[in-house]
Structure 1
Amino acid sequence: MFDYETLRFIWWMLVGALLMGFAITDGMDMGVGSLLPFVARTDTERRIAINTIGPHWDGNQVWFITAGGALFAAWPAVYAAAFSGFYMAMLLVLFALFFRPVGFDYRSKIENPTWRNIWDWGLFAGGAIPALIFGVAFGNLLQGVPFYLDDLLRSHYQGSLLTALLPLLNPFALLAGVISLTMLVVHGAVWLQLRTADPVAARARGIAMGLAPLVTIAFAAAGVWLWFGVEGYRIASAPPHGAFPNPLAKQVVRDAHAWFDIYRRMPIALIAPALGLCGPLATALLAKAGRPGLAFVTSALGMVGVIGSAGLSMFPFVMPSSIDLKSSLTIWDAASSHLTLTVMFWAVVILLPMVLAYTVWCYARMWGKVTAAEIESRSHSAY
């Protein structure tokens, strides 16, 4: 039905959509976890916050697993290179995520303040650390990752395993991490404002109003830094997009403003950074006006804008190399076979509407504000 070139482009869009879906759904859970020790001051209030995400967090995390599976199946070369270059970062994310299922399940097993406080901070770590590291990863992708491909197309990462994490924590990457963390915290705050009553809702409203403008400021600062201080990548020559994938067959150059090429060629792409800048500001105003439902929508649109801006700026690159430019991986030369992409495409066409329908049904069936009276009436519940 689709030729090889078209399928490669479709899967670039689908992987991006999965990442956005993960940010909107599971990012909300991570935002609530990051806020838990601060937005709720009593055990009942913390149980209120937890119960807003308790029925959904594990389903939301499936978006993350699906995005990883799609990356493995659609771009196996990117998957291999990424898990080499970001190995220690991935382990840190994984260990932090361990606190989430264990914290949700164990926190309320014992009615002991110390016990529950420990798990509250565990849930904080399980939300804040992955949110920060995901942004750091994107920041490093925009700067290039120190790997190269040998003649057999095997990826080799420059640096030792023990020191692999420190170079990733460079200033620009940390700024990207701040964008990611604050973006998800704001998203979690408007979710709490929507699903809880005062005083939790009032505190969440204040946090959303205070942090949302910071997302815009940090995003704008990253754009300025990207323009003046980070060299982008541009393909000088390459085989036809429908050719058999061979990353080493192309020529790549670096230029100070290459990451902005797409906005010159296709001005419609400016919609993404516009959403990234305006979405958080609209979220702050709507949260202040007591419209958390609309604030949640604008927060989601802001995340789509931020993630979309990163993807569009890098297009068609997926994982640039900072030490061997021609080893940089793009959507044209890192993809799986035509048959693999075709089979996966039809699996998405059939299964994704079912997943979305079930997700909407779950939220609709368990909708409503979580109140202190409800929590106190079921003291032995799971959360």
Structure 2
Amino acid sequence: MSSIPLDYETLRLIWWALLGILLIGFAVMGGRDLGVGALLPFVARTDAERRVLINVVGPTWEGNQVWLVLGGGAIFAAFPPLYAVSFSGFYLAMIVILLALILRPVGFKFRGKVTDPRWRSTWDWALFIGGFVPSLIFGVAVGNVLLGAPFYLDDTLRTFYSGNFFQLLMPFALLSGLVSLGMIVLQGAAVIAGRTSGILADRARTYGTWAGLATIVLFALGGLWVAFGMDGYVITSVVDTNGAINPLGKTVELVPGGWVSNYALYPWMIIAPVLGFLGLVGGVLGLQARLRLPTLLASSLAIFGIIATAGLSLFPFLLPSSVVPDSSLTLWDASSSHLTLFIMLLATLIFLPLVVAYTAWVFRVMRGTVTTQSLEKNPNAY
């Protein structure tokens, strides 16, 4: 491995950061579509208005799913034990998310095939479910990661999961789900307000403002809960950051306020929750001031700050075990090999900039205000 210019520890840190970037990328880009879907039945109240909202995200939603695929692929290739435990243990939750996500392409394609109002209303609610459910459950999943998942490893590193779907719906996890839903709705409102006009934009500003204010309160409540009402996981043994994959080679304990210990060790991490609050406040103020691009940037900053807060609080844990804490998966003992991470990094340095460049070009081409008049002139509109 001496020929690899980056040591194992550095590559592990890079891939931990890249995984966070990919997940944030999906929340920001995919959050545009999820947020618009969650707001669809409330902001748009006529068929013409709903067509406008659908066509705001219709041309770009498929490309935004690339970030979700990249995130899942990064977990599979860079952190195989995390993929094995999370995708098998949270299987039912994953199925619910998948089914909800499937409703979106079907809704986009099928809604306009029949002019019957009942047909279109059915698919409108399908699009709502496709936006609301993933936004909520993704947050619930993050909450459960902070609580710890009920799994353990035996001496041969086989995984045993002892939980069920309904155990995921703990109060703190539901609170995390509401934070996720609120920030995604704010993102959707920023998109609608920025790309529509008149009553649609006004309604989006109203719902977005309430979502932003609620998320500020919920995010603060979640922070207080983590700091003072929840035990966090802490590694109490010596950590070999260049060691081989062996999640059982450490000692982990639950301690009060354990999840905020990183902010004492690395004071710079406080910037994450600060950015989260600043983004939420900026998004609300931007909606009220009718600022288009600044509002969208602020809501995207809020998503970055909120997700980064969770990731930095967990560091170096990827998935703690609530049953046998020593079985918890961490950055240092649940990654792929040194060579695998390096080869993946080279591929990422080539293809990720291409994805970003293409995405930027598509959004530049599709920019502008969507109106009922513009849809009448476009034979390819949904």
Q: Indicate whether the TM-score tops 0.5.
A: yes
Q: Which amino acid aligns with 2:71?
A: A
Do structure 1's residue 12 and structure 2's residue 16 form an aligned pair?
A: yes
Within 1, Cα distance between the matches of 2:209 and 2:177? 20
Q: Which amino acid aligns with 1:64?
A: L
Match of residue 220 from structure 2: 220
Match of residue 116 from structure 2: 112
| Distance apart, 1:47 and its partner CA | 0.6
Structure 2 residue aligned with 1:22, among 23, 26, 51? Answer: 26
- Partner deviation per Cα, 1:240-267 (whole Å, 9 max, x = no partner): 1101121101011111111011111111
* RMSD (Å), alpha carbons: 0.9
Report SS of the residue matched to 1:249.
Answer: coil
CA contact (8 A) 1:74 1:336 kept: yes
Match of residue 257 from structure 2: 257
What TM-score results when the alignment is normalised by the length of structure 2?
0.97
Give runs of aligned pairs for residues 14-93 of structure 1, distance below 5 A: 14-93=18-97
Match of residue 189 from structure 1: 189
Match of residue 268 from structure 2: 268
Do structure 1's residue 141 and structure 2's residue 140 form an aligned pair?
A: no
Give runs of aligned pairs for residues 260-299 of structure 1, distance below 5 A: 260-299=260-299
CA contact (8 A) 2:55 2:381 kept: no
Q: Which amino acid aligns with 2:87?
A: F
Within 2, Cα distance between the matches of 1:304 and 1:239? 29
| Distance apart, 1:239 and its partner CA | 4.2
Q: Which amino acid aligns with 1:142?
A: L
Within 2, Cα distance between the matches of 1:154 and 1:69? 22
Deviates more, 1:239-248 or 1:306-315: 239-248
Match of residue 211 from structure 1: 211
Do structure 1's residue 152 and structure 2's residue 156 form an aligned pair?
A: yes
Match of residue 3 from structure 1: 7
CA contact (8 A) 1:105 1:382 kept: no
What TM-score results when the alignment is normalised by the length of structure 1?
0.97
Report SS of the residue matched to 1:234.
Answer: strand
Within 2, Cα distance between the matches of 1:243 and 1:75? 14
Within 2, Cα distance between the matches of 1:123 and 1:191? 16
Segments of structure 2 that go 5 or more residues without pairing to the other structure are none
Within 2, Cα distance between the matches of 1:229 and 1:168? 18
Flag the 1:38–1:237 CA change in 2: closer, same or farther, 3 A: same
Match of residue 306 from structure 1: 306
Q: Which amino acid aligns with 1:244?
A: A
Match of residue 350 from structure 1: 350
Report SS of the residue matched to 2:152.
Answer: strand
Within 2, Cα distance between the matches of 1:294 and 1:381? 30
Within 1, Cα distance between the matches of 2:239 and 2:68? 33
Q: Which amino acid aligns with 2:300?
A: A
| Distance apart, 1:381 and its partner CA | 3.3
Within 2, Cα distance between the matches of 1:249 and 1:209? 48
CA contact (8 A) 1:238 1:249 kept: no
Match of residue 133 from structure 2: 129
CA contact (8 A) 2:107 2:127 kept: yes
> What is the identity percentage for the equivalent residue pairs of Structure 1 and Structure 2?
50
Match of residue 371 from structure 2: 371
CA contact (8 A) 2:12 2:341 kept: yes
| Distance apart, 1:9 and its partner CA | 0.5
- Partner deviation per Cα, 1:35-77 (whole Å, 9 max, x = no partner): 0011001111101001110110000011001100110000000
Report SS of the residue matched to 1:274.
Answer: helix
Within 2, Cα distance between the matches of 1:240 and 1:98? 42
| Distance apart, 1:382 and its partner CA | 4.6
Q: Which runs of 4+ in 1 moved over 4 A?
A: none
